[in-house]
């Protein structure tokens, strides 16, 4: 297991380096000078040149890049152009809100998805199956921003059950959590149903029934335990994607998280802040994939190396 973890970490290093290089180059290819964007168009060119020199923007790109990599290895993502603060500190301030939103969304997705998938599998080809799978299809197909706007209009603007935006109370967290978890709930429901239906056709299920076990005991004690293995892996991956991809949800509901931070950085062309958020979320995705692999190995010994 330790060798597998070390191997995945080694494989992840080139991926992280590639992401750093790609975002660094793409931001430098955008026309315009970030100092001009920060200070305005009518600033004296001599002032722009001086500040660019102080920020190291006059150096060759390869020197800027390797200096940036060296700083990142020390945990320093640079200084925000707009806020004039350390990017690492800004991200750490916003990250707890993203974690809170992602965990609530994960609970919503897991509860709805697993329950709907189990009921649909038990009531296969009946009205509940069609109803739940139809809802799952809508959840998977409907864009996040559209779900957010519809729920915001209905439950916040019309019915006034929840605040339109903000993240300062439990009531304000409900709609963003449902929006972020809705798509994942659909995927979990579909996978739970398909796995459970397949497992229920196996010989060991028929043997359990022949021994006189009640149907709910067969489903919970035998079928569900085997059907949930790939679902748990998907759940771990979805949590990491929620932590790194809540951009639209945070923007629509005004949640002060990493996603909204990235959007603000794009609007103001704050390159260090945008680079920091992208690299930080890339690390979260890599860790999420590592945790998913480890969970699958722990829960299913058959796929361990040498088994």
108-139: per-residue pLDDT in tens? 988 998 888 888 888 888 888 888 888 888 87
Q: What are the phi and psi torsion angles at 79 (to 5°)?
A: -115, 130
pLDDT of residue 307: 45
**Region 209-235: what's the mean pLDDT?**
77
Take residue 100 and report the two structure tokens written for it.
């809170």
Does 218 score more than 80 pLDDT? no
pLDDT of residue 210: 80
**pLDDT band, residue 228 (cuts 50/70/90):** confident
**Region 81-95: what's the mean pLDDT?**
87
User: SS3 string of the chain?
Assistant: CHHHHHHHHHHHHHHHHHHHHHHHHHHHHCCCCHHHHHHCCCCCHHHHHHHHHHCCCCCCHHHHHHHHHHHHHCCCCCECCCCCCEHHHHHHHHHHHHHHHHHHHHHHHHHHHHHHHHHHHHCCCCHHHHHHHHHHHHHHHCCHHHHHHHHHHHHHHHCCCCCCCCCCCHHHHHHHHHHHHHHHHHHHHHHHHHHHHHHCCCHHHHHHHHCCCCHHHHHHHHHHHHHHHHHHHHHHHHHHHHHHCCHHHHHHHCCCCHHHHHHHHHHHCCHHHHHHHHHHHHHHHHHHHHHHHHHHHHHCHHHCCCC
Model-level pTM greater than 0.85?
A: no
Question: Which of the two residues, 37 and 187, has the higher pLDDT score?
Answer: 187
**Region 258-277: what's the mean pLDDT?**
85
Beta bridge partners of 86: 79
pLDDT of residue 9: 80
Q: How many residues does the chain have?
A: 307
Q: What are the phi and psi torsion angles at 143 (to 5°)?
A: -60, 150
**Region 66-93: what's the mean pLDDT?**
86
What is the average pLDDT value for the chain, to the nearest integer?
Answer: 81
Which residue's structure tokens are 């949590």?
Answer: 239
**Region 285-290: what's the mean pLDDT?**
82
pLDDT tens sequence across 147-186: 888 888 888 888 888 888 878 788 888 899 998 888 888 8
**Region 225-244: what's the mean pLDDT?**
79
Take residue 12 and report the two structure tokens written for it.
């992840």
Does 197 score more than 70 pLDDT? yes
- Residue 151 contacts by C-beta under 8 Å, 6 or more apart in sequence? 175, 178, 179
Neighbours of 188 (CB within 10 A): 27
Does 264 score more than 70 pLDDT? yes
Neighbours of 233 (CB within 10 A): 20
**Region 71-79: what's the mean pLDDT?**
85
Does 107 score more than 70 pLDDT? yes
**pLDDT band, residue 300 (cuts 50/70/90):** low
Take residue 229 and report the two structure tokens written for it.
């293995």
Does 293 score more than 70 pLDDT? yes
Does 31 score more than 70 pLDDT? no
């Amino acid at each position: 297991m330790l060798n597998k973890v070390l191997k995945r970490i080694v494989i992840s290093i080139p991926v992280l380096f590639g992401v750093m290089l790609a975002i660094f180059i793409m931001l430098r290819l955008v026309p315009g000078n970030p100092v001009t964007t920060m200070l305005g168009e009518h600033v004296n060119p001599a002032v722009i040149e001086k500040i660019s020199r102080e920020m190291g923007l006059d150096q060759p790109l390869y020197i800027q890049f390797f200096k940036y990599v060296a700083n990142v290895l020390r945990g320093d993502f640079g200084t925000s152009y707009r806020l004039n603060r350390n990017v690492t500190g800004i991200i750490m301030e916003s990250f707890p809100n993203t974690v809170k939103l992602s965990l609530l969304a994960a609970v919503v997705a897991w509860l709805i998805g697993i329950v709907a998938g189990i009921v649909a599998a038990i009531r296969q080809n009946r009205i509940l199956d069609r109803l739940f799978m139809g809802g799952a299809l809508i959840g998977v197909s409907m864009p996040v921003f559209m779900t957010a706007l519809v729920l915001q209009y209905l439950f916040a603007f019309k019915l006034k059950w929840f605040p339109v935006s903000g993240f300062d109370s439990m009531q304000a967290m409900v709609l963003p959590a449902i929006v972020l978890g809705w798509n994942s709930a659909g995927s979990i429901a579909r996978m739970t149903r398909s796995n459970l239906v397949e497992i229920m056709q196996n010989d060991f299920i028929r043997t359990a029934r022949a021994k006189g076990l009640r149907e709910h005991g067969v489903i919970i004690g035998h079928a569900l335990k085997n059907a949930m293995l790939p679902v748990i892996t998907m759940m771990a991956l979805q949590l990491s994607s929620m932590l790194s991809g809540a951009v639209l949800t945070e923007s629509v509901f005004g949640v002060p998280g990493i996603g909204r931070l990235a959007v603000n950085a794009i609007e103001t062309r704050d390159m260090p802040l945008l680079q920091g958020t992208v690299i930080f979320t890339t690390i979260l995705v890599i860790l999420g994939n590592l945790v998913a692999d480890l969970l699958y190995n722990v829960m299913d010994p058959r796929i361990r190396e040498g088994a």
